């Protein structure tokens, strides 16, 4: 979708993964890319036509839901 910011997997995080905000494994983008729990993701956001700004997230296990059930089984 045109309104969804660009997400990409990165090899190294700018901070320890436990200090990064989370994106749940049940998120549509994480499921589309098939990213496992613990993957560090860079999200490029645009604000008012300025240069894109990177935000970092780590894929986390959702408590309950489809992703959590799949990870347990």
The pLDDT assigned to 37 comes to 94
d(CA 65, CA 50): 37
DSSP β-ladder status, 53-60 and 22-24: parallel
Residues 6 or more apart whose Cβ sits within 8 Å of residue 33: 7, 9
pTM of full prediction above 0.85: no
Cross-strand partners of 22? 58
Asked whether 59 and 25 are in contact (CB, 8 A), the reply is: yes
The pLDDT assigned to 48 comes to 78
| Mean pLDDT, 10 residues at a time, the chain of 73 residues | 84 90 94 94 86 92 63 47
The pLDDT assigned to 64 comes to 62
């Amino acid at each position: 979708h045109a309104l969804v910011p660009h997400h990409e997997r990165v090899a190294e995080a700018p901070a320890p993964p436990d200090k990064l905000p989370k994106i749940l494994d049940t998120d549509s983008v994480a499921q589309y890319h098939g990213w496992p729990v613990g993957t560090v993701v860079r999200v490029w956001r645009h604000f008012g036509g300025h240069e894109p700004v990177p935000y970092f997230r780590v894929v986390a296990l959702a408590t309950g839901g489809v992703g959590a059930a799949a990870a347990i089984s």
